Amino acid sequence: MTSWANRNIPQRRDISQIPSELRPQILPRYQQPQVVLSETFQQKNEKKENEIVYPDNASLSKPTVDRYNFKKIETKPSPQATLLVHNDKSYVFVILRNIQSAKDNDLWISSYNSIRKYYTNSIVIIDDNSTINTVNGRLTDTEVIKSEWKGAGEILPYYYFLKNKWADCMIFLHDSMFLHRPFQPSELEGSIRFHWHFDHADVRNDRKISTFLSLLSQSKDVIAKISNPEFIWKGCFGGTSIVDLEVVLVRTGTEFIIHEYDGSESIRTKDDFIWLQA
């Protein structure tokens, strides 16, 4: 028996209670279609990476020194780096940064270095009230903004992109996200594309979604909307995306539709076509 006070907390389901023929098929991550597709984009490297090295007994007996080697900022882009332009649109990279410890400093530096390995585009680093100081010098074509909106988090890149209009498109990354290869042209299509997203059909009956949405100020309206089986929507993780400036320029209250809802979407407003309303 569960407590009435805990009625909205998702409960773990015992899969043994579900008949075997009705149980969902759970694929390992490496077998999931989206992961297999992502692997096809990876650059081939003849060098053996991530090799597992097993220590011998002699090395285990030696005392270790707790010493941390801090990450180095690459002062210049890699010789293979190019300017990212797609469909005659310019791009800016935006890194959202929050540093709470000395080791956190390595995250944004690694993210910055990974961009400079492939691209020479401008970079904007938005610092969301880090608790320790860091070195911002020796950065190439990079602007650092210390946010005046404490704790606004994932909203900040969109706010400053709308305010400053650095380029036609923004590639928003968290400070713990890194590029391992250049973007494919297909990944740059559409007006907005979230880096990590899920489809409404994947979580239609997941009680966690309703629990999280209940925390919103307008939760009743949102829950009622997504409960409609005919309503199509997508969720995203962390709010990171590749987004066109035209998306963030859409004024509040403007009616629009999403065209080609397949993970790489574009929007159309009333200015683009005539709406038929009942």
Q: What phi and psi values does residue 36 have, to the nearest 5 degrees?
A: -60, -40
Q: Which residue has the tokens 């890149």?
A: 157
Which residues lie closer than 8 Å to 99 by C-beta, 6 or more apart? 105, 108, 127, 130, 131, 132, 134, 175
Which amino acid is located at 256 in the chain? F
Please state, in angstroms and rounded to a whole number, the distance separating the CA atoms of residues 263 and 199. Answer: 9
DSSP notation for 118-152: HB-S-EEEEE---SS----TT-SSEEEEE-SSTT-
Task: Find the helix or strand (DSSP H, E) in which 113 lies.
Answer: helix 104-118
pTM over 0.75: no
Tell me, what's the pLDDT at 243? 94
Tell me, what's the pLDDT at 35? 75
Tell me, what's the pLDDT at 9? 66
Q: What angle do CA 71, 74, 80 make, to 5 degrees?
A: 130
Instruction: Identify which of 238, 216, 265, 86 has the alpha carbon closest to the alpha carbon of residue 158.
Output: 238
Mean pLDDT, each 10-residue run in order, the chain (278 residues) = 62 71 75 76 56 48 45 84 96 94 86 95 93 78 91 89 95 94 93 84 73 81 80 82 86 51 47 36
Please state, in angstroms and rounded to a whole number, the distance separating the CA atoms of residues 113 and 108. Answer: 8
Please state, in angstroms and rounded to a whole number, the distance separating the CA atoms of residues 106 and 242. Answer: 24
Instruction: Dump strand ranges (E) for 49-140.
Output: 85-86, 89-97, 123-127
The CB-side HSE value for 14 (13 A sphere, CA atoms) comes to: 2
Q: Which residues pair with 269 in a beta bridge?
A: 256
Instruction: Identify which of 240, 242, 274 has the alpha carbon closest to the alpha carbon of residue 255.
Output: 274
Domains present along the chain, CATH in parentheses: 71-196+237-269 (3.90.550), 199-236 (no CATH)
